[in-house]
Amino acid sequence: MSGGPTINTIAARAGVSIASVSRVLNGLPTREETVRKVLAAANELGYVPNSVARSLKSRRTNQVAFAMADIGNPVYLAMIREIQPVLKAAGYRLVLHSTDADVGDEIDVLRSLGERYVDGLIMIPLRVTAELVTAITVARAPVVVIGSVPEGTAVDNVRTDSRSGLRLAMEHLHALGRRRIGFLNGPPDTVPGAARGAAYIATLAALGLPYDPRLVEVGDFYRLEGAQAAERLLARLAADGGAPGLDALMCANDLIALGALDVLRRAGLRVPEDVAVAGMDDVDLAAAAWPAVTSVSLGSAERGKAAAELLLDRLENGDRAPRAVTFEPRLVIRASTVGEETR
Amino acid sequence: MSGGPTINTIAARAGVSIASVSRVLNGLPTREETVRKVLAAANELGYVPNSVARSLKSRRTNQVAFAMADIGNPVYLAMIREIQPVLKAAGYRLVLHSTDADVGDEIDVLRSLGERYVDGLIMIPLRVTAELVTAITVARAPVVVIGSVPEGTAVDNVRTDSRSGLRLAMEHLHALGRRRIGFLNGPPDTVPGAARGAAYIATLAALGLPYDPRLVEVGDFYRLEGAQAAERLLARLAADGGAPGLDALMCANDLIALGALDVLRRAGLRVPEDVAVAGMDDVDLAAAAWPAVTSVSLGSAERGKAAAELLLDRLENGDRAPRAVTFEPRLVIRASTVGEETR
DNA sequence: TTGTAGGCGTTATCAA
DNA sequence: TTGATAACGCCTACAA
């Protein structure tokens, strides 16, 4: 009573052994009549196989975990939307982990693979410490990492070069005649924060523009923090010299750009006439904002899909060499840099 | 080798029985020295308990499923963001199901509860058929439904009255002097579509406004479909009489409103000067849009949290009576109805 | 073709 | 305090 029917219940009802029940249920060759009796009993009892018992025996759970910093981030959301159907089609369920970008949490998730509640893991670490890399390499289940990972780490990996992506956007701003290009970054101790910060400086040099630290502010990859960073930047520029001395704002992601947009507007600056704004990630929100935000697509959806496929492949072929899939960034030009007329 | 260490491995290593190992690992009273030996062995071997075996024995998986139409919908996303931490704090993992608003899929999920891979389910059905209700009542694990469910259905339930919510928005439009209030709805065979369609007509009557079917279009609850519906509406009005004859647009959700916003703008109509626009759900996007969209908050986050708590409560207290939690809709006034000046 | 029995990794009972 | 042993529900040799 406490649990539902099991193969024992069915066996008793059908007057056969549990082995026969199992055989019928798994489509193994069985005498016609036995099949009938078993199926009839299973039907009447509303039998559903217990996946836990099945997993214990088969050593496979048909579950895959996805670990990211925060589901609220539209980038991860775009990935999930691609990952989920791929996994579902292959018969896997999706288990979600939010790590709040905490390395400890991420390492916990990796360790928990030893509990064997999933067959594999797709993860997006934001801070790649040595300890994390170790945890990845000793993980008890296949792992696919979305994002950069130290050269030579033996793990399936899907990445986009955000450095060249940021460069695309900067070149675009430069081509529009902008010369005082500010930069709002996320935490520099994260992989994307470090990469984009370095790319900003490198691109300035490549464009022959001076690097002026007063044009740079650091916050976090969210809208609110982006707005605060923009406020600090404007306040400092005002204190420094009066005139904004700023004709473009490169933002390390779209959420920051959206926050900056509000602040600029409130400060009476027109976008893009006074200050052109560009972001990264090309999330839905960027296209929906007003003005729509020029952004660098890092192929979130494609990366998610590729990661899922990579993991599925490894689940069937555990000992192939680690593979790295790379996507090219792509500039999506919208009104926040070129204005309305081109729409 | 193939699997990780088990209590057998540890028992052998520590020179004790598996029963002792289990006792130590579960903190049951054991002799000091045995504890030491077992913990030492477990540490050296990097032992992690197998959750599948544990689940088989304990009949609990520490997993909860969440089933919704589409993770891309910001409403569900807001819910997940609340549900996840509540479950995590209680030691549960979250399994995600996307059903594409397909009743068959939802019934499949309910049936799959018999597989016992989760301890409970939170679901948001869009179309509540008799078959679905049956499936809910015979489900093999506790279910919490977010949304309306037929009177008397014995299931934990969290809801907001979207009828009175829509009425709030309509009264607001009316108070602003709008008299030709159009309506863009989602599929009328969904619970929210039906409720909001009925509420539109009822509210018109309550406001003493005539019901003009030419002001109503039906599409789906997404941005693209909302835009298409808005286009059809404008085209028909233009064909019918030339002048728009429309001074407000009530949208069944925010995504529809965002789509409509684009279309109105492209048609050269100013929002809100020519046409005021209101949506429902109060998703992030509504606040981020330009102009920001007046919306009716149906308490998505709160509903998610309440659902998770309701489920946790039932998991500890399986036989209490079904409970219904209700939230009041709340109007959030933004620029799309009152213009910029009030910001 | 069918049934018996052992094992997947844990927990829990019952003697010793 | 400890160790054998029996479940949990399923799959699968192996033997009949």
Return the domain boundaries, chain A: 7-58, 63-157+300-321, 162-299+331-338
CB pair distance less than 8 Å for B4 and A289: no
Is strand D less than 7 A from the beta carbon of B57? Answer: yes
Is strand C less than 7 A from the beta carbon of B18? Answer: yes
Query: How far apart are alpha carbons A80 and B13 in whole angstroms?
Result: 43
Which residue matches tokens 């199992």?
A: A22
- CA–C1' A314–D15 (A): 38
- Chain A residues lying within 8 Å of B284, measured CB to CB: 285
The confidence score (pLDDT) of residue B244 equals: 57
* A69: amino acid identity, one letter: A
- Chain B residues lying within 8 Å of A97, measured CB to CB: 93
- Read off the pLDDT of each residue in A10-38 and give the average, rounded to a whole number: 95
Q: Which nucleotides of C are covered by protein (CB under 7 A)?
A: 1-5, 7-13
Q: Is the pTM of this model over 0.85?
A: yes
Question: Which SS3 state, helix, strand or coil, does residue A303 take?
Answer: helix
- Chain A residues lying within 8 Å of B88, measured CB to CB: 98
The confidence score (pLDDT) of residue A132 equals: 97
Query: Is cis: bond before B291, omega within 30 of 0?
Result: yes
- Reading the block at residue B284, the tokens are 């992030």
Q: Which chain B residues in 319-338 lie under 8 Å from chain A, judged by CB atoms?
A: none
The confidence score (pLDDT) of residue B92 equals: 98
Q: Which chain B residues in 134-173 lie under 8 Å from chain A, judged by CB atoms?
A: 140
Which residues pair with residue B249 across a beta bridge?
A: B182, B277
- CA–C1' A257–D13 (A): 64
Q: Please, are residues A181 and A206 in contact by the beta-carbon 8 Å criterion?
A: no
Evaluate if residue A138 carries a pLDDT over 80: yes
Is strand C less than 7 A from the beta carbon of B129? Answer: no
Using the CA of A5, which nucleotide's C1' is the nearest one?
D9
Pairing mode of beta strands B294-297, B276-280: parallel
The confidence score (pLDDT) of residue A18 equals: 96
- What topology is assigned to A162-299+331-338 in CATH? Rossmann fold (3.40.50)
Would you call B36 an interface residue with chain A, using a CB distance cutoff of 8 Å?
no
- CA–C1' A24–C9 (A): 26
- Reading the block at residue B131, the tokens are 């078959």
Give pLDDT < 50 ranges for chain B: 1, 342-343
Is strand C less than 7 A from the beta carbon of B50? Answer: yes
Query: Chain B interface, mutation test: which of A76, A88, A115, most B Cβ atoms within 10 Å?
Result: A115
Q: Please, are residues B147 and B76 in contact by the beta-carbon 8 Å criterion?
A: no
Evaluate if residue A1 carries a pLDDT over 70: no
- Chain B residues lying within 8 Å of A85, measured CB to CB: 98
b/e per residue, A214-241, with b = 16+ CB within 10 A?
ebbbbbbbbbebbbbbbbebbeebeeee
For B149, half-sphere exposure in the C-beta direction (CA atoms, 13 angstrom radius) is: 28
Quick count: other Cβ atoms within 10 Å of Cβ B90?
15
Q: B162-299+331-338: same fold as B63-157+300-321?
A: yes
The confidence score (pLDDT) of residue B342 equals: 42
CB pair distance less than 8 Å for A52 and B55: yes
Backbone φ, ψ for residue B300 (5° rounding): -55, -50
- CA–C1' B89–C13 (A): 32
- CA distances in angstroms from A267 to A233, A264, A329, listed in the order given: 12, 5, 32
Would you call B89 an interface residue with chain A, using a CB distance cutoff of 8 Å?
no
Tell me the range of A149-153, A304-308, B149-153 where mean pLDDT is highest: A304-308
Please, which residues have CB within 8 angstroms of residue B153's CB and are 6 or more apart in sequence?
B133, B136, B137, B145, B322
b/e per residue, B272-300, with b = 16+ CB within 10 A?
beebbbbbbbbbbbbebbbbbbbbbbbbb
Would you call A91 an interface residue with chain B, using a CB distance cutoff of 8 Å?
no
CB pair distance less than 8 Å for B96 and A80: yes
Q: Who among A4, A115, A290 is closest to B114 (CB)?
A: A4
Q: What is the DSSP letter of B322?
A: P
Q: What is the DSSP letter of A46?
A: T
Is strand C less than 7 A from the beta carbon of A31? Answer: yes
Among chain A residues 39 through 78, which have CB within 7 angstroms of nucleic chain C? 53, 56-57, 59
The confidence score (pLDDT) of residue B1 equals: 42
The class (CATH top level) of B63-157+300-321 is alpha beta
- Report which of B112, B68, B88, B50 is spatially closest to residue A50, judged by C-alpha positions: B112
Measured from Cα to the C1' atom, the residue closest to D3 is B17
Size of interface A-B (CB pairs under 8 A): 112
Q: Which nucleotides of D are covered by protein (CB under 7 A)?
A: 1-5, 7-13
Residue of A nearest to B113 (CA): A48
What are the DSSP calls for B39-91, one per residue? HHHHHHHT----HHHHHHHHS---EEEEEES-TTSHHHHHHHHHHHHHHHHTT
* B289: amino acid identity, one letter: A
The confidence score (pLDDT) of residue B10 equals: 96
Question: Which SS3 state, helix, strand or coil, does residue A257 take?
Answer: helix
Q: What is the overall mean pLDDT for chain A?
A: 94
The confidence score (pLDDT) of residue A2 equals: 61
Q: Is domain A7-58 classified as CATH 3.40.50?
A: no
- CA–C1' B286–D9 (A): 50
- Reading the block at residue A158, the tokens are 């899907």
- Reading the block at residue B302, the tokens are 């709160």
Query: How far apart are alpha carbons A186 and A167 in whole angstroms?
Result: 17
Is strand D less than 7 A from the beta carbon of A54? Answer: yes
Q: Which chain B residues in 255-284 lie under 8 Å from chain A, judged by CB atoms?
A: 258, 284
Measured from Cα to the C1' atom, the residue closest to C9 is B53
- CA–C1' A60–C2 (A): 28
The confidence score (pLDDT) of residue A285 equals: 86
- CA–C1' B265–C9 (A): 64
Query: How far apart are alpha carbons A267 and A263 in whole angstroms?
Result: 6
